[in-house]
Structure 1
Amino acid sequence: MTDTRGTSFLSDVVAIVGRSHVLTDPDAMAGHLTDWTGRWTGAADAVIRPCTTDEVAAVVAACAAHDVAICVQGGNTGLVGGSVPPIEHAGRRPLVVLSTVRMTDIDEVDTRGRCVGVQAGATIEQIDSRAAEHGLRFPVDLASRDSATAGGVVATNAGGVRMIRHGNTRRQVLGIEAVRADGQVLRRWTSLVKDNVGYDIPGLLAGSEGTLAIVTRVLFRLVAPPVSTIVTVAAVRHVEDCFALIDAMTERGLAVEAAEIMTDAGVELVHEHGVRRPVAAHAPFYTLVEVSGTGDVEAVVIDVLDEADVVDAVLEPGPARDLWAARERHTETIARSSTTPVVKLDVSVPIRALPEALVELAAIADLVDHPCRPILFGHVGDGNIHVNLLDVPEPRAEELTGRVFGIVAANGGSISAEHGIGRAKVAWTHLGRSEVDLATMRAIKAALDPAGRLNPGVLFG
């Protein structure tokens, strides 16, 4: 990689991060070029692994000087191809992957302000463990907590299983440090509860998928965990029964910490792979609800279940990892069970439309003349459905994706609930955004990254 002046870009970045952290060997780079789903594979000239914000800034400045594009990568647990480079960049500018894998520092917890500063490569599990040392909790929780990173959840504005209680990642971001496309460091870092000077830059970068700046550090809000929780899994006949159960618990003064939905097909699949069935009875749907409160929470939950229209139910004191396993093992089990890369579509619909949308999505296999096994699960409390279509022949994946998005749009939903647009959903952004809206986003992108250097092909194509 040598520019028209004859200077070597790779030599410049080696001087910044060290020889061992500039990967050019194909075998060494391979893990950074394919995403978790296996459906998205790209190509890059190098993988660069800086350790500090200053190193990121220097690398980005070198990229600007040599006209090199950058694909930003955290834990690489996304589902839409946003964390890997495009498959082809021949004939275009050179491209590198900038990995935050070495950026794992976590500051001391501010127990009075209930916040903590972390580098972008710190995992959700590491952040939550540090918070727990001080009797606090990180509000964002994902099944991929061991590998999903701070920078990644900010870039995609992840929701996760605690969103019903605490909101999405954007709500947890108090401050941010990021490197702009020109190499300048932007720092908006304050634990103030009220700070209303100008634009909400941290909020803008949350959900921007690395297209506006490279997030290097985040100041996260922390919360006090409940003293104790009760987790219940109930087998129910209708989605509306899930809603009724959640409403009844809320009306009895309980705080809903998480509310999930699974289908019989999904529960059976994880059971076949070694996970204990939460209840013996079969039903079309299963809802997992975790609640907290004062007094005898277990007694209240038992009363609610006795009065509810459920086929069967079980409850355990939190964390109830065996009950949660039925939900959290869905993703890895689905990946192992499909004969082709799973068509994974993270969507949302208005809660009122969830029952009809689930029926329509479950019936999608009947509309096609090729193999397709739908497994649906998600966050029933916020209308988020994880659509998984197994065994779909790769040439038919895009067509089937369009069918799913058509159902979602017809129900007033969004084609992206948690994982962003990435490369996978660019062709369908018009289903959720008007031309004026898209033009406004492009104007912001052009203002902050006029050369289109950051994550080319992501969000806008």
Structure 2
Amino acid sequence: MHPDRLVERLSAVVGPAHVLTAPEVRASYETDFTGRYTGRSRLVVRPGDTAEVAAAVRACHDLGVPLVPQGGNTGLVGGSVPGPDGDEVVLSLRRLTSVGPVDHGAQQVTAGAGTTLADLQRYVRSQSWEFGVDLASRDSATLGGMLATNAGGERVVRYGTTRANVAGLEAVLPDGSVMDRLAGLPKDNAGYDLTGLLVGSEGTLAVITRARLRLVPRLPHRVTALLALDSLEAAVALLVTLRRLESLELAEFFTADGLRLVMEKTGLPAPFRTPHPVLVLVECAGRHDTAGELAEAVEHPSVREVAVALRDADRHRLAAYRERHTEAVNAAGVPVKLDVTVPLADLAGFVGDLPGLLAGRARPYVFGHLAEGNVHVNLLDVPVREEEAVTEAVLRRVSQAGGSISAEHGVGRAKARYLHLTRSPTEVAAMRAVKSALDPGKLLSPGTLLGSCPPSPTPDR
């Protein structure tokens, strides 16, 4: 195929200004947020609505050109960037930013895949609603990427992952046809749950263009507390008490090492005069004052010190100690990021085993979502020759515990070869069958999720 043929077809769809071919212009679309995953695209196309997405996908399908859907490019596993061969088109969805009126009766709103989480939050909050999912990367993460990876974030303990907050989708299938499931019906059992299937599929089955999102009432009373503890075992024990709070929205953890790095790289002052091994960030929200309820809970004997905030500015200040971890780690180097889930009973054991697993080959920083046993393992100073061995050692330990190698950021390209550690041969075969049925040409997100997974893996569970 003459390269100009694809350019001509796509230019006719989106206009020449939105077909990016110059290497220096494509560059920002070819490297992900971590700086670790970089590829080379044939070109970048930027459609402005669903019809243009469908036409662009159809053009690539007709010419046999693989493509990679991309939102805010804040992914951590290489799933949002092209491979190294230069034969893939990056399909940027950042222009799909339309947001419809809030349906107050249904408690829903329809928004485009390119809408950032922060923009959606501002819009629905102005009408006394909230979207239940929240992320530290809210200013750059787009809904399309959140849907594709089934993002979790900070408020899963109360509202669930992204999938639980989606009432319907509009998506373009690999042949360019459009699936419209935006009615948002609370009861609709006619056949397979295609919306649920596409959420978390990492762009391998369809290109999500719009979503019908569930909203929750904006709660007027909030209180945030930072708790100092002696160990992760104590934090897990405290969680039992915290879960009894009807108002609990958030329970995050980090360690003294991570706090020191955050203070060093951001200039934040120490939250307490005395250092403590483990810190837990808690937030409660309700229709009535929740401060008393939280105060009673944090009288737990394992809590050594407490900092409490009621005003928004003070709450954001406390939250920054947890939310700025990613920024601080990235400022210290290019990390190997391993987002995993382990059973809560094994959380402290898993973190305690990391130094032995790493055997001096990396400098670990861990933080995450306490209530879900979701640990963000960030490894700095890993020699290139050791990256695969270190990754495998950590992920095998997760598998042996009955955990998951991917908690909320997807499998992407980075973990595709390890999928068999957390999914059985039967499950992988079923996934491949679904992929083949919807995308027989294997044109959507090649290399992501199933691309490097052995067809017949040996179980290691």
Deviations 1:225-274 (A, max 9, x none): 222121111111122322333332444x4421000010000011111121
CA contact (8 A) 1:235 1:312 kept: yes
Alpha-carbon distance between aligned partners in 2 of 1:67 and 1:263, rounded to the nearest angstrom: 49
- 1:329-368 pair list within 5 angstroms: 329-338=324-333, 341-365=334-358, 367-368=359-360
Partner of residue 272, structure 1: 264
Aligned with 2:433 (options 434, 438, 443) = 443
Aligned with 1:402 (options 392, 409, 425) = 392
Q: Which amino acid aligns with 1:30?
A: A
Aligned to 1:381, what secondary structure does the other structure show?
Answer: helix
Q: CA deviation at 1:295?
A: 5.2
Aligned with 1:425 (options 402, 405, 415) = 415
Residues 1:378 and 2:368 aligned together: yes
Q: Indicate how the Cα distance of structure 1 residues 230 and 435 shifts in structure 2: closer, same or farther if over 3 A, else same.
A: same
Q: CA deviation at 1:364?
A: 3.6
Partner of residue 23, structure 2: 26
CA contact (8 A) 1:111 1:134 kept: no
CA contact (8 A) 2:31 2:38 kept: yes
Residues 1:86 and 2:83 aligned together: yes
CA contact (8 A) 2:236 2:344 kept: no
Alpha-carbon distance between aligned partners in 2 of 1:235 and 1:400, rounded to the nearest angstrom: 30
Alpha-carbon distance between aligned partners in 1 of 2:288 and 2:297, rounded to the nearest angstrom: 15
Alpha-carbon distance between aligned partners in 2 of 1:287 and 1:246, rounded to the nearest angstrom: 10
Partner of residue 454, structure 2: none
Q: Which amino acid aligns with 2:259?
A: V
Q: Indicate how the Cα distance of structure 1 residues 454 and 295 shifts in structure 2: closer, same or farther if over 3 A, else same.
A: closer
TM-score (norm 1): 0.94
CA contact (8 A) 1:249 1:304 kept: yes
Partner of residue 382, structure 2: 392
Residues 1:321 and 2:327 aligned together: no
Runs of 5+ consecutive residues of structure 1 not aligned to the other structure: none
Alpha-carbon distance between aligned partners in 2 of 1:391 and 1:344, rounded to the nearest angstrom: 12
Aligned to 1:221, what secondary structure does the other structure show?
Answer: strand
Q: Indicate how the Cα distance of structure 1 residues 444 and 308 shifts in structure 2: closer, same or farther if over 3 A, else same.
A: same
Partner of residue 231, structure 1: 224
Q: CA deviation at 1:361?
A: 2.1
Deviations 1:355-408 (A, max 9, x none): 11111125444x14x4x2100000000010000001112221111101110111
TM-score (norm 2): 0.94
Residues 1:49 and 2:46 aligned together: yes
Q: Which amino acid aligns with 2:263?
A: H
Residues 1:257 and 2:254 aligned together: no
Aligned to 2:109, what secondary structure does the other structure show?
Answer: strand
Alpha-carbon distance between aligned partners in 2 of 1:270 and 1:15, rounded to the nearest angstrom: 48
Aligned to 2:57, what secondary structure does the other structure show?
Answer: helix
CA contact (8 A) 1:235 1:281 kept: no
- 1:17-416 pair list within 5 angstroms: 17-89=14-86, 94-251=87-244, 253-273=245-265, 274-293=267-286, 296-317=289-310, 319=312, 320-338=315-333, 341-365=334-358, 367-368=359-360, 370=361, 372-416=362-406
Deviations 1:294-351 (A, max 9, x none): 655223333333343222111111640010000000001100112xx20001000111
Aligned pairs, number: 448
Runs of 5+ consecutive residues of structure 2 not aligned to the other structure: 452-461
Residues 1:455 and 2:448 aligned together: no
Q: CA deviation at 1:98?
A: 0.4
Aligned to 1:422, what secondary structure does the other structure show?
Answer: coil
Q: Indicate how the Cα distance of structure 1 residues 311 and 55 shifts in structure 2: closer, same or farther if over 3 A, else same.
A: same
Q: In terms of mean alpha carbon deviation, does 111-120 or 241-250 score higher?
A: 241-250
CA contact (8 A) 1:118 1:219 kept: yes
Q: In terms of mean alpha carbon deviation, does 406-415 or 235-244 score higher?
A: 235-244
Q: Which amino acid aligns with 1:377?
A: F
Partner of residue 2, structure 2: 2
Q: Indicate how the Cα distance of structure 1 residues 363 and 325 shifts in structure 2: closer, same or farther if over 3 A, else same.
A: farther
Alpha-carbon distance between aligned partners in 2 of 1:292 and 1:450, rounded to the nearest angstrom: 47
Alpha-carbon distance between aligned partners in 2 of 1:47 and 1:102, rounded to the nearest angstrom: 13
Deviations 1:29-81 (A, max 9, x none): 00000111111111111000000100011111111111111111000000000
CA contact (8 A) 1:123 1:150 kept: yes
Q: Which amino acid aligns with 1:264?
A: A
Q: Which amino acid aligns with 1:268?
A: R
Q: Indicate how the Cα distance of structure 1 residues 295 and 59 shifts in structure 2: closer, same or farther if over 3 A, else same.
A: closer
CA contact (8 A) 1:233 1:279 kept: no
Aligned to 1:27, what secondary structure does the other structure show?
Answer: helix
Q: Indicate how the Cα distance of structure 1 residues 176 and 294 shifts in structure 2: closer, same or farther if over 3 A, else same.
A: closer
What RMSD over aligned residues (CA atoms) do the two structures have, in Å? Answer: 1.5
Alpha-carbon distance between aligned partners in 1 of 2:287 and 2:103, rounded to the nearest angstrom: 27
Q: CA deviation at 1:16?
A: 0.5
Deviations 1:205-241 (A, max 9, x none): 0010000000011111111122212111111112232
Alpha-carbon distance between aligned partners in 1 of 2:353 and 2:132, rounded to the nearest angstrom: 32
Aligned to 1:8, what secondary structure does the other structure show?
Answer: helix
